[in-house]
A = this chain, B = another copy of it.
Amino acid sequence: MGRTSDAREKILTAAQSLIELRGYSALGVAEICKAAGVPKGSFYYFFESKEALALAVLDEHWAAQRGGWVRALQNEAEPLLRLRRLFEETEADLRTGQQSCGTVSGCMFGNLTLELSNQTEPIRERLQQIFEAQVDMVEKVVTEARQRGDVTVGDTREAARSVVAQLEGQVLFAKLYNNTQHLEALWDNCLSLLSARRPDVAAVSY
């Protein structure tokens, strides 16, 4: 191996899996390199520290997840049904992860927020940017829903943040019980948090 062109990608992939399974603090650079199948010298060629790797993992993970959020939230369906699709796809993603590794590992951003955000400022800032981006995307949908008279919230920003908070809270329960069904409450809870009138699900496909 060595400093070949795909070593960086291998390190990132291995680190993402290990961080999802065991968090950040429990990992050492040697273990990450072993899992990636690259010599330790390669690591410091690509990343100046374990923290720099964590930031790259966060960026890569959000780039991938953001695609799913865009597909769920930026389309022609009724606004509230797009939120429902986001919850369904989040549950499906957690279930896929559970099937592949035997356990619900949860949301990497929530995990690292609770593990690290009070310890390292660069990671805290990156996680803030990612959560703000999520709240932005939800807020756009809530604003559209309000324009249509589907919801009656006053502060769309606060409402969007509460929807994301509910998502993170239910993912916590899904991880605690190793059971993705906790996410099934999200749709009803979202309608409640937004003081929404329930859309006619049967009439609309997406």
Measured CB to CB, the residues of A under 8 A from B are: 21-23, 25-26, 103-106, 110-111, 113-119, 124, 127-128, 131, 158, 161-162, 164-170, 172-173, 175-178, 182, 185, 189, 192-193, 195
Contact = CB atoms under 8 A, between A and B. Distances in A.
Nearest to A169: B165
Chain A residues touching B, majority SS: helix
Contacts of A128: 176-177
Contacts of A22: 25, 119
Nearest to A193: B192
5 contacts: A111-B115, A165-B182, A165-B185, A165-B189, A192-B195
Nearest to A105: B118
A117 B173 CA distance: 10
